Each structure stands twice: as C-alpha cells, then as structure tokens.
Amino acid sequence: MWQGTVRVVLAAITAAGGGVLNAQNELPAVRPESAAIRALIESGMARSATFRDLKTRLDNTDVIVYVRFSRCPSGIAACLAWITPGAGSRRLLIRIDRFDSSPDRLTALLAHELQHANEVAAAPDITDLASFERSFASLGWNDGTGFETEQAQNTTRSVAAELSRARHDAGRGQRPPP
C-alpha cells in the first residue's frame, strides 16, 4: 500500500537543532507537540486496536517519543530519529509530513513509526545513535533512504484496514469497539 514511503531515519537531534524537547516522568511515553498531533493520536486510539496496543506498550517502557508534523529527509512521508538518552529514558522523535495525506493515512504512518519505537523499546542495548543504527541494520534492511522492518510494514497495513473498517462502520451507524 504505502511501501517505500516511510523509513527509520538515522540521525541525532540535539535540543538546539530539533527544538526544545522536555522529558517529564509523569507524562505518557507518546508526546504530541501540537493539538493537531494530539487529535491524530486520540483518533487512532479510538479507531484502531493495533494503534492502542502500540501506544500502551510504549507507556510501559523507558522510551519517550515526541511526535511532530515536519518533513523528513529524502522526502519520505514519516520517519523516526534518535534524539538522545535522558535521565532514565531513551528519547525518539517521529516526524510526519502532513501535506497531501488523509487523516487515516497520517494515522497509519504514525502507527508505523510507533512500531519502530516499540522495536527500540524492545532492545535495551540501544543507548546511542551508533547502537540505534546497528540494531535497525540487523532488524530490517536499508534501501538508501533509511531502515525498514517487516513488522512496521505489517503494522501500517493492519492499522489502515482497522481505520477503513471503523470508517465503514461509522457510515452504517455502528460504533467502533472500545
């Protein structure tokens, strides 16, 4: 469906170069940087069991994921970048290009990147940019724009199908399952 449009982008982002990123332990793992991203996350949580599972799993890890609308290198639609380890946490940034995409596609792209964040969470040996790169090189493949994994591609398809069913059910007057 959207194969080739999302990749894990391997880049280190500093607070000065990537905007102010503040980690606070009492906040959830997935941290939207705008009201529009917050609405996208809420919609994904309401309409996709897979999306809910991705976020719930991250909430129980040491990974903090900031999410923002912004363009990725190489013109890809969404990407995950290593930021830096923090006090007791590992920080990542998801960028999503919001232009020319439907809300359902943006939600599926976000789910794809949340799967990559869960892949980081499952690998406690990822503690810096070099180990981030090594881990994704072993998990998937590099097509020249970044790394990709089979699990993330499957996640994109699953969430897209769930969103389509939810939209279809809403059109028939049915409520989506909790």
pLDDT 10s per residue in the chain (178 long)? Answer: 444 444 455 444 433 333 334 344 468 999 999 999 999 999 999 999 999 999 999 999 999 999 999 999 888 999 999 998 778 899 999 999 998 789 999 999 999 999 999 999 999 999 999 999 899 888 888 877 788 899 999 999 999 999 999 887 776 665 555 5
What is the span of the domain harbouring residue 59? 6-171
Q: How many Cβ atoms are within 10 Å of 111's Cβ, its own excluded? A: 27
Residue 176 lies in a domain: no
Residue 135 lies in a domain: yes
Residue 54 lies in a domain: yes
CA 50 from centre of chain: 13
Residue 40 lies in a domain: yes
Residue 1 lies in a domain: no
Residue 97 lies in a domain: yes
Residue 99 lies in a domain: yes
